[in-house]
Amino acid sequence: MGFTRFLEVDDNVLERVVKLLNYSSIDLFNEDVGKIKEWIKKQQHFPEVTADEKIKNFLILNKGSVEKSKEKIENYYTIRSHLPEIFDNIHPKLSFMETVKASIYFVPLPKLTKEIYRVFFYKVRDPHLTETFEPVHGIRLLVNIQEIRMIEDVTYGDVFILDGKNTPFRPILKVTPMVIYKALVAIYKQVFSNRLKAVYVINIPPYVENFFILLKGVLKPKLMERIHFCENSDVLIEKIGKEILPVDYGGEEKSLEELQEMLYQKFKEREDYFTQLDELRINDDLKRQRLKHDEMFGLAGNFRKLDID
């Protein structure tokens, strides 16, 4: 069956990204994809042979490194057993997603920037519902969006826009260092390796600054330098582009409400795919080299500084 296109990716995007990764041709890139696929077929503990679209994205996310891509694909399957508090109840059809949908807007914007970055927009939708919002629900939403991206998207980096308007105080207290660490290290870095290019924060209440103080304990200084606090949303038109931004913020794209509806329709459209993902568990009995949970995801001892690049 055919699927509707939510994330817009032109035919030439992959070739442009491959050039940025210093491949001399798309054929050489595809050769590396083939090498990884042959390696996957020999991993008896894997629950499936990874789809070509996913392999391509792992190779892009790992800057064309075949060996790093293999490591992240291994982690991709293993993490589902090691973080059951996230992955045992993550399917988009579950009721927590309706709670998330009613509480916040968190959506990728359809058009890519000229630098081939995917822009994400976050804003509180209902402050009262957000009061009871659990951070793990937000992590699950992030992962579900990333799963869609791995089979439908091609990018060279991510940009986040965070609108702090209407953000209540109580949910901020729930965002502990461990929550941040699981989201950013165990998932963002050790599995998907997305390149974070910039974060633009607008309409920030004073107490939200505590959240960024927490981030300073996790992120390296060069990443903190990519977080920009803006007086208003006018700067977004200059930095992101009017054609990319939602109409709510002076742009030409659909509203956040419409975009969120499109995203959740995409989840529904891909329901069978997410059901398959629910079954993906690595077979540790067949694994040649076992890694402990804390060794794999860096949770032992003190928190380490995180470099997402």
CA-to-CA distance for 120 and 117, rounded, in angstroms?
10
Tokens of 46: 């894997």
The predicted-structure confidence for 23-41, as pLDDT tens digits, reads as follows 999 999 999 999 999 999 9
The predicted model gives 183-200 an average pLDDT of 81
Query: What was the pLDDT predicted at 300?
Result: 37
Query: What was the pLDDT predicted at 55?
Result: 98
What distance lies between CA 109 and its chain's CA centroid?
A: 13
- Average model confidence (pLDDT) for the chain? 85
Residue 223 has pLDDT above 80, yes or no: no
Residue 224 has pLDDT above 90, yes or no: no
CA of 275: how far to CAs of 79, 80, 269, 278, 283, in Å? 17, 14, 12, 5, 19
Render the burial of 82-106: b for 16+ CB within 10 Å, e for the rest.
bbeebbeebbbeeebbebbbebbbb
Q: Between 61 and 127, name the one with better pLDDT.
A: 61
Query: What was the pLDDT predicted at 301?
Result: 36
Query: What was the pLDDT predicted at 177?
Result: 62
The predicted-structure confidence for 194-220, as pLDDT tens digits, reads as follows 888 999 999 887 766 666 666 666 667
Tokens of 97: 């997603």
Q: How many CA atoms lie within 13 A of 201 on its CB side?
A: 15
Strands 117-124 and 104-108: antiparallel
Tell me the residue type at 138.
Answer: G
Q: Which residues contact 193 (CB under 8 A, 6 or more apart)?
A: 61, 62, 68, 72, 308
Tell me the residue type at 250.
Answer: G
Q: Between 241 and 229, name the one with better pLDDT.
A: 241
Residue 226 has pLDDT above 70, yes or no: yes
Query: What was the pLDDT predicted at 294?
Result: 44
The predicted model gives 181-191 an average pLDDT of 71
Query: What was the pLDDT predicted at 291?
Result: 47
CA-to-CA distance for 158 and 27, rounded, in angstroms?
26
Residue 65 has pLDDT above 80, yes or no: yes
Residue 298 has pLDDT above 50, yes or no: no
Query: What was the pLDDT predicted at 194?
Result: 84
Query: What was the pLDDT predicted at 69?
Result: 96
SS3 content of the chain, % helix, strand, coil (to 5): 50, 10, 35
Percent of the chain past pLDDT 70, that is, above it, reads: 81
Percent of the chain past pLDDT 90, that is, above it, reads: 57
User: What's the pTM value of the predicted model, to 2 decimals?
Assistant: 0.88
Query: What was the pLDDT predicted at 174?
Result: 65
The predicted model gives 279-306 an average pLDDT of 55
The predicted-structure confidence for 85-103, as pLDDT tens digits, reads as follows 889 999 999 999 999 999 9
Q: Which residues contact 27 (CB under 8 A, 6 or more apart)?
A: none
Q: Taking a C-beta distance cutoff of 8 angstroms, is the pair 164, 205 a contact?
A: yes
The predicted model gives 286-307 an average pLDDT of 47
Candidates 184, 214, 90; CA nearest to 145 is: 90
Q: How many CA atoms lie within 13 A of 209 on its CB side?
A: 4
| Full set of structural domains in the chain with CATH | 13-87+282-291 (no CATH), 95-269 (3.40.525.10)
pLDDT band per the 50, 70, 90 thresholds, residue 42: very high
The predicted model gives 250-278 an average pLDDT of 96
For helices 256-269 and 135-152, angle between their N-to-C axes, nearest 10 degrees: 70
pLDDT band per the 50, 70, 90 thresholds, residue 282: confident
CA of 88: how far to CAs of 82, 85, 189, 280, in Å? 10, 6, 20, 11
Query: What was the pLDDT predicted at 148?
Result: 97
Q: Which residues contact 52 (CB under 8 A, 6 or more apart)?
A: 33, 37
